[in-house]
């Protein structure tokens, strides 16, 4: 017998369709969302070697040899053993110090490169002649052309009750991640120099200042 040419064809072959069905309970559905299972990291664009956590970025408004650059703080881990130095970023090589005239004046810097592929990534601030620039000492410039941000995502059920378990603070959202260091603010410069700069505290202080300005 010939097939009826007028009958519509199925959208998918039947052998591709699942043979078992698992219905959900009436009135209940499951929503899935992307959740970052690990902290975002900065990686070498050439070999993808980890260099720092994205949370170590102090400012995204700096300029390097190849355009935009990040000002990055060294890792601060009080649990690290005494034999482990946290003065430098991980997986980098620090070259010899040299005096260099930058946009903001004379600084003593040391070029840094990836320890794995030897790609030049930026430099480390070792000293600064101007007092207003000393907040940079001990910190690093990472060129955005030489590094990229790596995000690790996974599917997890979205539930409002799990917000606290996932380490997210209610009401804070992503505000803390958007707070950047303001080099024109004297209070923030003092805090950076003293090692007490906190993005959450700065965000609250700025919101209060905005309220005063509106009044």
Determine whether 41 is exposed, middle or buried from the number of CB atoms within 10 Å of its CB (0-12, 13-18, 19+): buried
Q: Does one domain contain both 57 and 121?
A: yes
Query: In the structure encoding, which two tokens stand for residue 134, read together?
Result: 């000393």
pTM of the entire predicted model: 0.56
Q: Does one domain contain both 67 and 98?
A: yes
82 near 89, Cβ under 8 Å?
no
Q: Does one domain contain both 209 and 150?
A: no
Count of structural domains, the chain:
2
Q: Does one domain contain both 178 and 209?
A: yes
* Domain containing residue 200: 173-215
Residues 6+ apart with CB under 8 A from 55: 39, 40, 177
Residue 102 lies in a domain: yes
Q: Does one domain contain both 71 and 142?
A: yes
Which pLDDT tens digits describe the chain residue by residue (215 residues)? 555 555 555 454 555 445 545 455 555 554 545 554 678 899 999 999 999 999 999 999 999 999 999 999 998 765 544 434 457 899 999 999 999 999 889 999 999 999 999 999 999 999 999 999 999 999 999 999 999 999 875 544 554 444 444 444 433 333 334 677 777 777 777 777 666 777 778 787 877 776 555 55
């Amino acid at each position: 017998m010939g097939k009826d040419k007028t009958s519509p064809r199925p959208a998918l072959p039947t052998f591709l369709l699942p043979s078992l069905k698992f219905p959900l309970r009436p009135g209940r559905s499951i929503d899935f969302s992307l959740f970052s299972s690990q902290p975002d990291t900065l990686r070498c664009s050439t070999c993808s070697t980890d260099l720092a956590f994205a949370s170590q970025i102090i400012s995204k408004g700096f300029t390097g040899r190849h355009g935009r650059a990040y000002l990055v703080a060294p890792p601060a881990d009080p649990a690290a053993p005494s034999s482990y130095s946290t003065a430098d970023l991980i997986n980098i090589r620090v070259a010899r110090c040299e005096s260099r005239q930058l946009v903001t004046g004379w600084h003593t810097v040391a070029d840094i490169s990836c320890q794995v592929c030897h790609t030049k990534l930026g430099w480390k601030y070792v000293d600064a002649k101007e007092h207003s620039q000393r907040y940079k000492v001990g910190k690093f410039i990472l060129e955005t052309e030489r590094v990229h941000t790596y995000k690790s995502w996974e599917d997890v059920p979205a539930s409002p009750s799990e917000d606290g378990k996932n380490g997210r603070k209610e009401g804070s959202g992503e505000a803390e991640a958007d707070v950047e260091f303001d080099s024109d603010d004297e209070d923030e410069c003092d805090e950076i120099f003293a090692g007490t700069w906190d993005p959450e505290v700065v965000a609250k202080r700025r919101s209060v200042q905005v309220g005063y300005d509106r009044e």
